[in-house]
Chains A and B, each alone.
Chain A
Amino acid sequence: MKRTDELAGSAPPLPSQEPIRLVDPQGHRVGEAEYLTPEPGTLLALLRAMIIGRRFDRQASALARQGRLAVYPSSHGQEACQVGGVLALADDDWLFPTYRDCVSLVTRGVDPVEVLTLLRGDWHSGYDPEPHRCAPQCTPLATNASHAVGLTYAARRKGQDAAALVLMGDGATSEGDAHEAYNFAAVWNTPVVFLIQNNRWAISVPVDKQTAAPTLAHKAIGYGMRGYNVDGNDAAAVHAVVSHALAEARAGGGPAIVEAQTYRLDPHTNSDDPQRYRDDAEVEYWKARDPLTRLEALLRGEGLLDDAEVERMSAEGERLAADVRERLSGPDRLTPEELFSHVYSTAPAMLRRQRQELLDEMRKG
């Protein structure tokens, strides 16, 4: 057992009060020696995924307004967090997203229509978690974080070095499950990066009513973890810091909390009224820090991007949006009898009977 005075030297450093930034809001590099700015190819991939992700998000919001989705929690403005985090993952790594993280799933390669299944109301999760290593989107806050800890623990037992990225919001950090997950991850030394998208608002409650910590990244210190405070609208910085944290974790350095400072430009969901709780000036401030224009400006300024390339990326986003629109335009194809199919590995007699009763009811009309 280490004594308290022997521990002092091994504590992780405090996260910086100023977020780590590699590209300023005008698109200029502000190099940080510790975190390597991604290579041009990676920067282009980040921009492409953000352009596609934003187009998808806009399309989903439109579908919600048209009543084709039951609800849509937009992540407009948070693309750098989701794209930067996901593109830092290796193929064998796992993603644990929440309901607001549809863009992360699209970036990971999940069929966008399957991503929207939950929000359309067809089923609770539309995709098979295994092929893309994406857990079902989680609606309760922070409860998915410990799942990631267990999963990576199990992977390590098998001698596999799968790491996990847990997406969570600022509000989720107040939940007891967040604490338990951070603590388990640190004690078990599992390779998990908890990426907190601090978008300033948990529905109507601002982050300063959520925590008294200087930053959410500071929470890492109490668990014996590393904490990073990063500019969440700087895709290069998010990617660099998450990559760094994943590499450290994989090498046995333990889990980390990465807090990304970003902003939810849209309402909490399409049924929320943000005018009741926040003012326009705040929204305008953050609009001027848009993650897409920032990275585009950098790439153009350094001669790595031209109009034709932006056009190609945008066209890809348009094709995806059109495809989503078309595939969601038909009538619902619901199979009510499936309600009984996956409750247990083998349906008990009671469920078999209820299934038959429902089928009879449907037949009668």
Chain B
Amino acid sequence: MAEISLGRALNRALHDALDGDPDVLVYGEDVGALGGVFRVTDGLTATFGEDRCFDSPLAEAGIVGTAIGIAMYGQRPVVEMQFDAFALPAFEQVVSHVAKMRNRTRGRVELPLVIRIPYGGGIGAVEHHADSSEAYFAHTPGLRVVTPATPADGYSMLREAIECPDPVVFLEPKRRYWATADIELPVRTEPMDRAVVRRPGTDVTLIAYGPMVATALEAAEAGQREGRDIEVIDLRSLSPFDEETVTESVRRTGRAVVVHEASTFGGYGAEVAARVTEQCFHYLEAPVLRVGGLDIPYPPPKLESYHLPNADRILDAIDRLQWESEWVPGGTGGQPPLHQTGVGA
């Protein structure tokens, strides 16, 4: 066993995928000599040569567009978008072609490509370096959209994404790049399209993914001290959505809160809340709540802590789940005081 960060686990996954299959290619901006701005591709060019891991022109639509052609010819490109908002020039290629190629050709052409996007905030980055674009991608049929929250999942899910015959948008929670775990690589965790219960509990289900899984676990720990037994689900796959795991949990706990750091309005959490309500209505003790980022453009770094959900906001939401019979929706009576756990942020 060794202490391994998410960033190193992803690096090892790319290394092992390149080693195991000559059709795997890694390219993007600065992924060669520099090893990527987050060093996720560190050492790959040195080990495998310029033919397998290389710098491309600085052009995201071109990177994804050429990856489509490479995948059409039966190879497996893994491309890096460097930062979330910089993936937007490639959005048309992703939505109009990557997501649809299998369907428009009646299954005759598949695109086994992976688009890696470091996403989300919390690292003090400037504008356009901290967005969460998962809802845009998850809204598009034909894409698989996944996001690991742990080093073990980082390794396992990236290997699986590269092996997958479908195109995968692989969202890397950049503020967890340096989070470590004591694991032995290579490792294979649960299948990529399954959610997992990170922490069992009986009172309420927290549904989180990517950067918010750790925050949800913090909240659950703090909640434990207040006598709440909180279950935490890590979705892992945003599309397809693992309804089975989520539904089973919420039917058991009767309460659910969805947590993500992207802006709340029209966000991925709305989809989860709607589905949970449809599937679990008669088991619910309270409405499904969302804890998401503020509905503002991503804030400047010195203000981002006001935007990002933390453990306190999650615990406040849990408190609003009608634990007390005197609580009136929309009213103020009976509502407990806001939490100040000092954890999170």
A218 to B108, CA, bound (A): 37
Cross-chain contact B106 with A342 (CB below 8 angstroms): yes
Q: Interface segment, A101-109, A147-155, A234-242?
A: A147-155
Interface string of B137-172 (1 = CB under 8 A from A): 000011010000000000000000000111000000
How far is B98's CA from A147's CA once the two chains are assembled, in angstroms?
10
Contact (Cβ within 8 A) A143 B92: yes
From A124, A151, A158, A187, B69 is in contact (CB under 8 Å) with A151
Q: Considering only CB atoms, which chain A residue lies closest to B113 in the complex?
A: A150
Classify the interface of chain A: helix, strand, loop or mixed: helix
Cβ contacts under 8 Å, B141 to chain A: 343
Is B65 an interface position by the 8 A CB rule?
Answer: yes
Q: Is B70 a contact of A350 with CB atoms below 8 Å?
A: no
Q: Is the CB of B106 within 8 A of A123?
A: yes
CA–CA, A148 to B72, complex, Å?
10
Q: Is A145 an interface residue (CB 8 A)?
A: yes
A140 is an interface residue with CB less than 8 A from chain B: yes
Nearest-Cβ distance from residue B94 to partner chain A, whole angstroms? 11
Contacts of A338 in B (CB 8 A): 106
Assess whether B103 is in contact with A124, with CB atoms less than 8 Å apart: yes
Interchain CB contact under 8 A, A184 and B104: no
* B107 contact set on A, CB distance < 8 A: 341-342
Q: B304 within 8 Å of A by Cβ?
A: no
CB neighbours (8 Å) of A152 from chain B are 69
A150 B108 Cβ-Cβ under 8 A: no
Give Cα A151–Cα B65 distance, bound, in whole angstroms: 10
B241 at the interface (CB under 8 A from A): yes
Partner of A155, one of B73, B96, B109: B73
For the complex formed, measure the closest distance between the CB of B166 and the CB atoms of chain A, giving whole angstroms: 5
| Cβ contact within 8 Å between A128 and B69 | no
Interface flag for A82 (CB, 8 Å)? no
One of B57, B97, B243 near A147 (C-beta < 8 A): B97
In the bound complex, how far is the Cα of B89 from the Cα of A348, in angstroms?
29
Considering residues B92, B108, B244, which has the most beta carbons from chain A within 10 angstroms of its beta carbon?
B108
The complex places the Cα of A129 from the Cα of B62 at a distance, in Å, of 22
A146-B62 in contact (CB<8A): yes
8 Å CB interface, A214-257 against B: none
The complex places the Cα of A292 from the Cα of B109 at a distance, in Å, of: 36
- Residues 240-260 of chain B, each 1 if its beta carbon lies under 8 Å from chain A, else 0: 110110000000000000000
Query: Are A151 and B72 touching (Cβ within 8 A)?
Result: yes
Are B66 and A150 touching (Cβ within 8 A)?
yes
Greatest chain A CB density within 10 A among B72, B144, B244 is at B72
A136 at interface, CB cutoff 8 A:
yes
- A94-121: which residues lie under 8 A (CB-CB) from chain B? none
| B102 at interface by CB-CB < 8 Å | yes
Are A146 and B65 in contact (CB-based, < 8 A)? yes
Q: A191–B106 Cα gap in the complex (Å)?
A: 28
B129 at the interface (CB under 8 A from A): no
A349: interface (CB < 8 Å): yes
B73 in contact with A154 (CB, 8 Å)? yes
Complex Cα distance, B25 from A255, in Å, reads: 22
Complex CA distance for A187 and B66, rounded to whole angstroms: 12
Q: Is A146 in contact with B240, judged by CB distance below 8 angstroms?
A: no
Assess A150 versus B104: contact at CB under 8 Å? Given A140-B96, A183-B59, A184-B59. Answer: no
Task: Decide yes or no whether A301 CB sits under 8 A from chain B.
Answer: no
Bitwise, A342-354 to B at CB < 8 A (1) or not (0) is 1111001110000
Q: Please, how many residues of chain A have a CB less than 8 angstroms from a CB on the other chain?
A: 41
User: Is B11's CB within 8 Å of the partner chain A?
Assistant: no
Instruction: Tell me the chain B residues, 90-123 only, with Cβ under 8 Å from chain A.
Output: 92-93, 96-97, 100-110
Residues of A within 8 A of B25 (CB): 157
Q: A135 interface residue, CB < 8 Å from B?
A: yes
Query: Counting CB contacts under 8 A, is B30 at the interface?
Result: no
Contacts of A176 in B (CB 8 A): 61, 89
Say if the beta carbon of A316 comes within 8 Å of chain B: no
The complex places the Cα of A343 from the Cα of B140 at a distance, in Å, of: 10
Inter-chain contacts of A349 with B (CB < 8 A): 240, 243-244
**Is residue A5 within 8 Å, beta carbon to beta carbon, of the partner chain?**
no
User: Within 8 Å CB of B68, what residues of A?
Assistant: 146-147, 150
**Is the CB–CB distance between B62 and A183 below 8 Å?**
yes
Contacts of B70 in A (CB 8 A): 150-151, 153-154
Docked complex Cα distance between A77 and B16 (Å): 54
Given contacts A129-B109, A149-B66, A154-B74, contact A343 B103 (CB under 8 A): yes
Whether B72 and A344, one on each chain, are in contact in the complex, defined by CB atoms closer than 8 angstroms, is no
| Complex: A144 Cα to B92 Cα, angstroms | 11
Residue of A at shortest CB range from B144? A344
Q: In the complex, what residues of A have CB within 8 A of residue B221's CB?
A: none
With A154-B73, A157-B51, A343-B141 known to touch, is A184 a contact of B62 (CB < 8 Å)? yes
**In whole angstroms, how far apart are the Cα atoms of A125 and B107 in the complex?**
11
Pair B243/A350 contact, Cβ less than 8 Å: yes
Give Cα distance in the complex from A183 to B66, angstroms: 11
| Contact across chains for A153 and B69 when beta carbons are under 8 A apart | yes
Knowing A143-B93, A152-B69, A349-B240 touch, does A136 contact B110 (C-beta < 8 A)?
no
Do B108 and A350 touch (CB < 8 A)?
Answer: no
| B69 with A147: CB separation less than 8 A | yes
Q: How far is the CB of B237 from chain A (nearest CB, A)?
A: 9
7 nearest CB pairs, A to B: A150-B69, A146-B65, A180-B62, A150-B66, A348-B240, A151-B69, A154-B73
Instruction: For the A-B complex with A136-B105, A180-B61, A180-B62 known, give 14 more contacts whose Cβ atoms are closer than 8 Å.
Output: A129-B72, A136-B104, A143-B97, A144-B97, A150-B72, A152-B69, A155-B73, A158-B73, A177-B65, A180-B65, A181-B62, A343-B102, A343-B141, A350-B241
Residues in chain A within 8 A of chain B (CB atoms): 123-125, 128-130, 135-136, 140, 143-155, 157-158, 176-177, 180-181, 183-184, 187-188, 338, 341-345, 348-350
Q: Can you list 19 pairs linking A and B with CB atoms under 8 Å apart? A: A128-B108, A130-B109, A136-B105, A143-B92, A148-B69, A149-B62, A150-B68, A151-B72, A153-B70, A154-B70, A157-B75, A177-B65, A180-B57, A188-B66, A338-B106, A341-B106, A343-B102, A344-B102, A345-B166
